[in-house]
Amino acid sequence: MKTLIKNGTLITASDTFQSDILIEDEKITRIGLNLEVDSNHQVDATNKLILPGGIDPHVHLDLPMFGTVSSDDHYTGHKAAAFGGTTTAMDFVVLEPSPSGRGQGEGDFNHSVDLWMKKAGKAAIDYSFHMNLTQFNDRIAKEIPSLMKMGIQTLKVFTAYNGRLRIDDGSIFKAMRIAKDNGMLVMAHCENGDIIETLVAEALACGHTTPEWHAWTRPGWGAVDATLRVAGMAAESEASVYIVHMNMGGEVDMLQYARERGVKVMGETCPQYLFFTIDNLRQPDGAKWICSPPMRTKQDNARLWEGLTNGILQTIGTDHCPFYFDGAKPMMYEGKEIAIAGKELGRDDFTKIPNGLPGIQDRLPVLWTQGVRAGRISANQFVAYTSTNPAKIFGLYPRKGALLEGSDADITIWDPEKKVNYGLAHSHQRTDYNLYEGWELTGYPEKVFLRGKLIVDGERWLGKSGDGQFLKRSEGEVL
């Protein structure tokens, strides 16, 4: 099967050039001007841009939490991703004890990965996993290198969620040493768990229950101090470390400080932290914006943009973890009514609002208009942050994140002039709201190929459950 895409403008992380592109079966096999090839299909891409499919390094699909579950699974979330031009997504395996295993509730990597593989059987785009390292002891330490053999090159640690997800700093430091010795990468969620626990208890005791208290009880300085602490551990252990969902200007400062001193630390931000502030949590529908870490200030938005403009940050993920705003009301999804409990669970208590928001589809369209068209980042930086850098950091390059002969034919044909009044009507994310409702966008995906198969053609969905493949990853690069 041969598909020839003619007359497009290719955008890579470093170059912009006119070229045709030939896809044979699942791979890009030729790139060049005026290709004359017998093909089964030709696509005219005159006035269109050709981008490597987006890679979202940070999503939470089908994740049980807050007594419910994130409302996109590996099919619905992947379908939404594809409509937004993304063809690879990485989500996080919850470390669970095996029912027949060692007992005492000790996490079991094999069992946990098996569970996640089963969930992801319905994948519609390619995917891989990070492992949540939410327990640590000598046995777990010994078993960490086995993850590499499973193609899981990343350990996620938390400096918050005391008594649940957090492991202490000594354990994080030991995990970093193991990661360093085995070509693995440590990802860190940086907030100050001790301060959060104190402030939450005080807020509730005073009867402060509204959504904005979610932000007041998770102070930004805690994210800044945790970022510096994690960077310090990276320096001392010489491990490669990736700070997820940077939301504070001060975190960008800490990242810059560490990187200028040769520490192998990298940073991700997410679109929501570039646009929204604590003011959104004060709205009557403020629960829609509840996620951890929370929205901050306009100054933080601006410093994060600066971090992207100047290349201090390396990636833009989404932390896609959607919930319904009103899960008591069913919504239609592929012709069926479906209701999943959501933000209404915390109507009277901000600590019970499921943390997380949608974004897997929104990422590229919103960033194109607000980033590239607004002159904050170049089109090449857009590709770097949303595709090529994640591929390099997470051990997928040049199979993914590249427009090169031999790379997987994951391709998004982008119409840079298409105007869309964005919002729920365009969204395939399985939730009842969209954070970018009514935003005027210019530039939108037109066609999306996953390993050579056309899965999105305008408004038409041609993909299916099971199209996605698990990607075994190997050692990545430090950017």
User: Which CB atom, from 292 or from 434, has the smaller least distance to ligand DUC?
Assistant: 292
Q: Out of 74, 78, 189, 392, point to the residue binding ligand DUC (CB under 6 A).
A: 189
Q: How far is the CB of 89 from Zn ion (least distance, A)?
A: 12
Which of ligand DUC, Zn ion, none sits in contact with 356, Cβ below 5 to 8 A by type?
ligand DUC
Binding mask 195-234 for ligand DUC (x = CB under 6 A): ----------------------------------------
User: Which CB atom, from 219 or from 452, has the smaller least distance to ligand DUC?
Assistant: 219
Look at residue 366 and give its three-state secondary structure: helix
Q: How far is the CB of 443 from ligand DUC (least distance, A)?
A: 28
* Residue 68 makes contact with ligand DUC by CB under 6 A: no
DSSP output for 253-317 = HHHHHHHHTT--EEEEE-HHHHH-BHHHHHSTTGGGG--SS--B-HHHHHHHHHHHHTT---EE-
Query: What value, to the nearest 5°, has the Cα angle with vertex 313 and ends 412 and 280?
Result: 85
| Main-chain phi, psi angles of 14, to 5 degrees | -125, -20
Q: Which amino acid is at 447?
A: K
Binding mask 1-40 for ligand DUC (x = CB under 6 A): ----------------------------------------
Burial 32-63 (b: 16+ CB within 10 A, else e): eeeeeeebeeebebeebbbbbbbbbbbbbbbb
Region 33-62 residues binding ligand DUC, contact defined as CB under 6 A = 60
User: Which CB atom, from 340 or from 413, has the smaller least distance to ligand DUC?
Assistant: 340
* Residue 400 makes contact with Zn ion by CB under 5 A: no
Q: How far is the CB of 212 from ligand DUC (least distance, A)?
A: 16
User: Which CB atom, from 189 or from 453, has the smaller least distance to Zn ion?
Assistant: 189
Which of Zn ion, ligand DUC, none sits in contact with 355, Cβ below 5 to 8 A by type?
ligand DUC
CB 276 within 8 A of CB 435: yes
User: Which CB atom, from 356 or from 390, has the smaller least distance to ligand DUC?
Assistant: 356
CB 471 within 8 A of CB 396: yes
Give Rg (Cα) of the chain: 21
Q: Out of 220, 249, 271, 356, point to the residue binding ligand DUC (CB under 6 A).
A: 356
Q: How far is the CB of 355 from ligand DUC (least distance, A)?
A: 4
**H or E, element range at 77:** helix 76-83
Q: How far is the CB of 321 from ligand DUC (least distance, A)?
A: 4
Q: Which residue has the tokens 């193609």?
A: 151
On the question of a cis peptide bond just before residue 354, with omega within 30 degrees of 0, the verdict is: no
| Main-chain phi, psi angles of 70, to 5 degrees | -60, 140
Q: DSSP code of 354?
A: P
Which residue minimizes CB distance to ligand DUC? 291
Provide the pairing of β-strand 453-457 with 460-461: antiparallel
Strand stretches in 68-194, DSSP E = 68-69, 86-93, 126-132, 154-158, 185-189
Other C-beta atoms closer than 10 Å to the C-beta of 396 total 27
Binding mask 158-197 for Zn ion (x = CB under 5 A): -------------------------------x--------
User: Which CB atom, from 354 or from 443, has the smaller least distance to ligand DUC?
Assistant: 354
Report CA dihedral (289, 291, 293, 297) to the nearest 10 degrees. Answer: 0
Region 312-331 residues binding Zn ion, contact defined as CB under 5 A = 319
Look at residue 113 and give its three-state secondary structure: helix
User: Which CB atom, from 85 or from 317, has the smaller least distance to Zn ion?
Assistant: 317
User: Which CB atom, from 197 or from 405, has the smaller least distance to ligand DUC?
Assistant: 197
* Residue 292 makes contact with ligand DUC by CB under 6 A: yes
CB 413 within 8 A of CB 48: yes
User: Which CB atom, from 60 or from 399, has the smaller least distance to ligand DUC?
Assistant: 60
Burial of 374 (0-12, 13-18, 19+ CB in 10 A): exposed
Q: Out of 291, 308, 366, 377, point to the residue binding ligand DUC (CB under 6 A).
A: 291
Region 144-173 residues binding ligand DUC, contact defined as CB under 6 A = none
Binding mask 415-434 for Zn ion (x = CB under 5 A): --------------------
CB 333 within 8 A of CB 287: no
Other C-beta atoms closer than 10 Å to the C-beta of 239 total 24
| Total chain residues near ligand DUC (CB under 6 A) | 8
Q: Out of 4, 167, 246, 321, point to the residue binding ligand DUC (CB under 6 A).
A: 321
Q: How far is the CB of 64 from ligand DUC (least distance, A)?
A: 11
Q: How far is the CB of 59 from ligand DUC (least distance, A)?
A: 10
Q: Which residues pair with 86 in a beta bridge?
A: 54
* Residue 355 makes contact with ligand DUC by CB under 6 A: yes
Q: How far is the CB of 193 from ligand DUC (least distance, A)?
A: 12
Q: 109-119 vs 138-149: helix axis angle to the nearest 10?
A: 40
Q: What gap in Å lies between CA 110 and CA 106, rounded to an integer? A: 12
Which of ligand DUC, Zn ion, none sits in contact with 291, Cβ below 5 to 8 A by type?
ligand DUC
List of residues contacting ligand DUC (CB under 6 A):
60, 189, 291-292, 319, 321, 355-356
List of residues contacting Zn ion (CB under 5 A):
189, 319
